[in-house]
Structure 1
Amino acid sequence: MSSNNIKRYAKIAILYLGVAAGLTSCAKDDYYRDGGLADPNFEGSMLAYLESKPVEFDTIAQLVKLAGLDELLQTGDVTFFAPSDSEVKDLIGYVGRDGLNNRLYALKKDTIRVLADVDSLIWKKYLERHLFRGSNFLADYPQIDHSLKQIYPGENYYSLNNTVLNIGVVYHDVNDVKYAGYRQLSISYIPDVSRPNDGWYTTMISSSDIKPTNGVVHTLSKDDALFGFDPDEFIDDVAASK
């Protein structure tokens, strides 16, 4: 083989390697840009999923057991809008004037040192606000625009303990094009159903459509979430139970 042919074949080989590398790079870029390419399936129950994420859900998994909901989260077909551990810790550990333990101390009642110091029925009440019957994915919910609820109102749903909550998909804007951006679930607690459009406690969802073997998990944003959606109500319930 002549030296010219060798050089020509070498150039072709380098070209193919460059194309392959470019395709691999694009695939990686696409993966990191599009979370949808990640596998949302979890080979285990919903409770096992929570237990597999100790940083985010170790406390929530404990509360599920304290509330007597562990069997439901192992076998029941439910959708769980899961708060993170930090929300529970913020409620119990907050040391400001209106914090849980300060309120209890002012009332001369026992403060909360461990999760079991809160009545299990209270944990059950607030966890069941986050649970809905059946498996519901982001695509199953209607659009909501919180600034134009008369046009895009989302939809009201009954949680497991018959609390009314509004759930909808926010269509974000991109490059000044309305509703052309990514889609994100929101959930809103309606404290007074006689005034269904007032006083909402709205929380955005940071990740959605995680699919264990029973049901669906959507995770509440750490920046927005308030466990039970109304911390004052939770604190009042705990104080009344002491």
Structure 2
Amino acid sequence: MKIKNLLFSIFFLILVSSCSKDSGYYNQSIQKVTYDGTILEYLQSKPGVFDSLLTVLNRTKINAVLSGNEKMTLFAPTNQSFQLAIQNLNNTRKEADRPFEYLTNVDLLQLDTMMAQYIVKGYYPSDSMTLKDGAQLQDFKYQRTMNAKLTTASSSGFEGGGPKVIQYSDTKNSQFTRDWITASSASINIEAKNGIIHVLSTDHVFGFNDFVSRLTYIPPPPNLFVTVGGIFSVSRENSGGVNAVEASKYVFDGNRETKFLLGDFNGAWMQVELNTATAANSYTLTSANDFPERDPIDWTLSGSHDGQNWETLDSKSGEEFTSRFQQRVFWINNTTAYKFYRLHVQRARSGNTFQMADWSVNKGEVK
């Protein structure tokens, strides 16, 4: 009996010890690592880790922001993130029989736009990201909406049983998380004199999936709304009126961040009366920020000399936009200088609401 009691006691102690060691969760206390220097100096102190990041910061002149006195938060991509991006870019360029590009010579404006997404004004340690929906942040230069959320990773087969990580997302200006592109942190809360650093995982591709598309993007021909100018009109205005936040004027403004929205949609047209009759040989449509079912799917482009008699220049049916803010260029075989151009959208993808970020008529060299 004593032996049985002794064995039972030993078994109980082992069980308690085991449960306290691995009870289905990993109770990690989040520590801050303090570095006696600026954010930029910290990056420079890690050769072999942030060399590519430093190259980009130097080319874009953003390095000055990370060495100043203003508090900043950096979500730092490592060398591997840039290597993956460059590899993807050059795989695409190889298929097109185009020369390779590298961080030292890729388009500076695009590089600057992408790099800015990783830097936020202010001091944001991980405990500022604990809300259910995370923390809504804006990049320091272009004010694009980013999201940072503290979560618990999985460990030892237990979901949510691992260390704390930050999920840092480019929201693509969408309220729906399915549209977001997210990177996870590898280490967090490195506190420098002028801010804090969260290092991103090595599997993150620099640019939040935009690196290749941005650097292989061919801009559309010159926009006649800008180069010639004109008077704009629509068949029906947004229910909020001409000054509503989603009024018709925003479909002509060349800004993909704004849009024209119509409810109870059963077809509508948008029109420009150019200041000078001009032969357009292309036009563009840009999808808006959310709800793909609101995208145009069937439309007709027409030209007119007097605004009364119209000639069909192009007609599309069953078209699809594969992403938000996607600009598509459509070339037309036209050499006639029209004073009026009209885009008549007959149908949205589904439902009875229509939206579009931008429309333009263009003239340029045929690609």
- TM-score with structure 1 setting the length: 0.69
Q: Tell me which residue corresponds to 2:214.
A: 237
1:123 pairs with 2:111: yes
- Percent sequence identity is 22
- The change in CA–CA distance for 1:80 and 1:241 in structure 2 (over 3 A counts) is farther
Farther-moved stretch of structure 1 (158-167 vs 53-62): 158-167
Q: CA deviation at 1:217?
A: 0.5
1:171 aligns with 2:148: no
Identify the residue that residue 143 of structure 2 maps to in structure 1: 162
Cα 1:116–1:176 change in 2 (3 A) is: closer
Q: Counterpart of 1:110 in structure 2: which amino acid? A: P
User: Residue 42 of structure 2 contacts residue 192 of structure 2 at CA under 8 Å; is this kept in 1?
Assistant: yes
Structure 1 residues 117 and 74, CA, compared in 2 at 3 Å: closer, same or farther? same
SS in 2 for 1:218: strand
Q: 1:116 to 1:241 in 2, by over 3 A?
A: farther
Alignment of 1:60-75 (within 5 A): 60-75=53-68
Unaligned runs of 5+ in 2: 1-26, 220-367
Equivalent of 1:199, from 154, 179, 182? 179
1:101 match: 90
Measure how far apart 1:50 and its partner are: 0.6
Greater helix content: 1
Structure showing greater relative contact order (alpha-carbon pairs closer than 8 Å, 6 or more residues apart): 1
User: For the structure 1 residues 206 and 110, does the alpha-carbon distance in structure 2 shift closer, same or farther, using more than 3 Å as the test?
Assistant: same
Q: Is the 8 A contact 1:119 1:241 kept in 2?
A: no
**Aligned match of 1:29:** none
Report how far residue 197 of structure 1 moved. 2.5
Alpha carbons of 1:240 and 1:124: their partners in 2 closer, same or farther (altered >3 Å)? same
Give the whole-Å Cα distance in 2 for the aligned partners of 1:90 and 1:48.
25
Quick one: distance in 1 between partners of 2:91 and 2:129?
40
Give the Cα separation in 2 of the matches to 1:69 and 1:185.
Answer: 23
In 1, the alpha carbon distance for the partners of 2:175 and 2:108 equals: 30
Aligned CA distance change for structure 1 residues 212 and 103 (closer, same or farther; 3 Å): same
How far residue 163 of structure 1 moved from its aligned partner, in angstroms, is 1.9
Specify which structure has the higher proportion of strand: 2
Aligned partner of residue 204 in structure 1, secondary structure: strand
CA distance in 2, matches of 1:125, 1:68: 12
1:56 to 49, 62, 68: 49
| CA RMSD across the alignment | 2.8
Aligned residues between the structures: 191
Query: Distance between the aligned counterparts of 2:90 and 2:155, measured in 1?
Result: 44
Q: Secondary structure at the match of 1:142?
A: coil
1:221 paired to 2:201: yes
Change (3 A) 1:227 1:241: same
Give SS of 1:44's match: coil
- Deviation, 1:103, is 2.2
Q: Which amino acid aligns with 1:116?
A: T
Counterparts of 2:161 and 2:104, CA distance in 1: 46
Q: What SS does the corresponding residue of 2:133 show, helix, strand or coil?
A: coil
**What code does the residue aligned with 2:61 have?**
G
Moved more, 208-217 or 178-187: 178-187
Deviation at 1:64, TM superposition (A): 0.4
Cα distance in 2 between the residues matched to 1:153 and 1:34: 21
